[in-house]
Amino acid sequence: MIKVNEDYLKLPGSYLFSTIAKKVNAYSQANPDKKIIRLGIGDVTQPLCPAVIDALHKAVDEMAVKETFMGYAPDLGYEFLRSTIAKNDYTQRGCEIYADEVFVSDGAKSDSGNIQEIFAKDVKIAVCDPVYPVYVDTNVMAGRTGTYDAATGLWSNVIYMPCTAANGFSPELPKEVPDLIYLCFPNNPTGATITKTELQKWVDYANQNKAVIIYDAAYEAYISEDDVPHSIYECEGARNCAIEIRSFSKNAGFTGTRLGFTVIPKDIKDENGVMLHSLWARRHGTKFNGAPYIIQRAGEAVYSEAGKAQTMEQIAYYMNNAKYIYEGLKSAGYTVSGGVNAPYIWLKTPDNMTSWEFFDKLLETVNVVGTPGSGFGPSGEGYFRLTAFGTYENTVEAIDRIKKM
Ligand code: MLT
């Protein structure tokens, strides 16, 4: 008789955003006349910019011609994209990262979920609380997290780093030393950031303790303040301890087209001198046949002069939404943070409501969807996340509805 991977059975409930979608769909079916405004999942609403669309058309046309048709893509990514990324995201920022350390993939979600595979089953992970659920869930699937306590919402074998109002939603260095540390800045869900000086402390801590940092920088394009680093490789010594994950979804609207990348410097080695880079390359070779040619050409176009200017405009559009949400809620008496270097606004639920109570109230009374903070971890209880990725018109309408509540 077939047996399933029992670690999967330990996962409590469905994936956060699937749970929300199910609830919203049920409400929408029962109330077909209501206009629901979705500021829950961080999905973009602006179309791909013209430079990207032009590159897509051109690449599609190439696929129709015998001489330029492309079959399997190189599993680590086309050289044209890997070198464009290395130059624009790293060399030009003064970071020492080479094209062959960039692994192109179908997105940051799968990379941040899959990266744990190259580590031993008994490595101890540390995560921020609240946290993007993919990091914990994939470690649960890998059997690394111990047992789940439904009363506290905590796993016995995970080191939690609470990010609360008291510490400005910025984690403190854990006392119990982890092997693998997940950090995400600008942060999803709180929208908090870290300064270069603070991030340097994490890099030093990881190097001192021979730990590895998985640095999720999916939201770096939203950074507006000078002292906030765009990459962990701006810190000294990060080549020895940090893996960085990036996305084209948030900076260029590729949520539907899918494209991302992971950087693994060749200097990171395990205690026996094994390069993590080789293991990830081995994994890509075995489990991945490369992101599609046309999408990689579209990704390359994001770095063209026109692409940079057009995606910057989109980011400004979303950050204008963020400002509207932040200021609107603040003026209505809510306690809010985030939204300055990130497209997420993190608010305290009013009247001591739980995160899910507030979710239901918003959905049912003003037909606005957000994300309950407790879905990201126990320290998110009593908080709520709104995304700035809606259209401006819907964002204004949603906040005006909430203000009248
Ligand atoms: C979110 O809403 O947290 C993100 O959009 C989810 C994701 O990027 O997978």
**Residues 118-127 pLDDT 10s:** 999 999 999 9
Any atom of ligand 1 within 6 Å of the Cβ of 109: yes
Are 207 and 234 in contact by the 8 Å Cβ rule? The answer is no
pLDDT per residue as tens digits for the range 63-119? 999 999 999 999 999 999 999 999 999 999 999 999 999 999 999 999 999 999 999
Does 186 sit behind a cis peptide bond, omega within 30 degrees of 0 on the bond before it? yes
Tally Cβ neighbours within 10 Å of residue 158. 21
Residues 154 and 283 in one domain: yes
Tally Cβ neighbours within 10 Å of residue 114. 18
Domain assignment present for residue 27? The answer is yes
| Rounded Cα–Cα distance for residues 88 and 251 (Å) | 14
Instruction: Note down the domain range covering 29.
Output: 6-47+306-404
Residue that the structure tokens 């990091």 belong to: 135
3-state secondary structure the chain: CCCCCHHHHCCCCCCHHHHHHHHHHHHHHHCCCCCCEECCCCCCCCCCCHHHHHHHHHHHHHHCCCCCCCCCCCCCCCHHHHHHHHHHHHHHHCCCCCHHHEEEECCHHHHHHHHHHHCCCCCCEEEEECCCHHHHHHHHHCCCCCCEECCCCEECCEEEEECCHHHCCCCCCCCCCCCEEEEECCCCCCCCCCCHHHHHHHHHHHHHHCCEEEEECCCHHHCCCCCCCCCHHHCCCHHHCEEEEEECHHHHCCCCCCCEEEECCCCCECCCCCEHHHHHHHHHHHHCCCCCHHHHHHHHHHCCHHHHHHHHHHHHHHHHHHHHHHHHHHHCCCCEEECCCCCEEEEECHHHCCHHHHHHHHHHHHCEECEEHHHHCHHHCCEEEEECCCCHHHHHHHHHHHHHC
pLDDT for residue 324: 98
pLDDT per residue as tens digits for the range 345-393? 999 999 999 999 999 999 999 999 999 999 999 999 999 999 999 999 9
- Whole-structure pTM value: 0.97
Q: How many independent structural domains does the chain possess? A: 2
Gap from CA of 71 to ligand 1 centroid (Å)? 31
CATH number at residue 322: 3.90.1150.10
Residues 103 and 248 in one domain: yes
- Domain boundary (247, 282, 304) is at 304
Any atom of ligand 1 within 6 Å of the Cβ of 39: no
Residues 249 and 361 in one domain: no
pLDDT per residue as tens digits for the range 222-254? 999 999 999 999 999 999 999 999 999 999 999
Residues 177 and 320 in one domain: no
pLDDT band at 10 (very low <50, low <70, confident <90, very high): very high
Nearest CA-CA partner of 214 in 236, 185, 234, 192: 185
Gap from CA of 207 to ligand 1 centroid (Å)? 30
Strands 158-162 and 125-129, bridge-based pairing: parallel
Any atom of ligand 1 within 6 Å of the Cβ of 130: no
pLDDT per residue as tens digits for the range 314-356? 999 999 999 999 999 999 999 999 999 999 999 999 999 999 9
Residues 18 and 31 in one domain: yes
Domain assignment present for residue 1? The answer is no
- Domain boundary (304, 331, 355) is at 304
- Domain boundary (270, 304, 338) is at 304
Mean pLDDT of the chain: 97
pLDDT for residue 180: 98
Residues 248 and 293 in one domain: yes
Are 215 and 244 in contact by the 8 Å Cβ rule? The answer is yes
Q: What are phi and psi of 160, to 5 degrees?
A: -100, 140
pLDDT band at 154 (very low <50, low <70, confident <90, very high): very high
Gap from CA of 43 to ligand 1 centroid (Å)? 7
* Residue 295 in this model has a pLDDT that exceeds 90: yes
Q: What are phi and psi of 102, to 5 degrees?
A: -100, 125
Residues 67 and 180 in one domain: yes
Any atom of ligand 1 within 6 Å of the Cβ of 38: no
Gap from CA of 377 to ligand 1 centroid (Å)? 15
Pocket test for ligand 1, best of 137, 188, 384 (most atoms within 8 A of CB): 188
CA–chain centroid gap for 135, Å, is: 10
Gap from CA of 186 to ligand 1 centroid (Å)? 13
| Rounded Cα–Cα distance for residues 48 and 222 (Å) | 17
Tally Cβ neighbours within 10 Å of residue 287. 10
| Rounded Cα–Cα distance for residues 49 and 369 (Å) | 27
pLDDT per residue as tens digits for the range 167-183? 999 999 999 999 999 99
CATH number at residue 58: 3.40.640.10
Residues 26 and 78 in one domain: no
pLDDT for residue 299: 98
* Residue 13 in this model has a pLDDT that exceeds 90: no
Residues 104 and 179 in one domain: yes
pLDDT for residue 238: 98
Rg (CA), the chain: 21
| Rounded Cα–Cα distance for residues 271 and 144 (Å) | 19
Residues 278 and 394 in one domain: no
Mean pLDDT of 42-50: 97
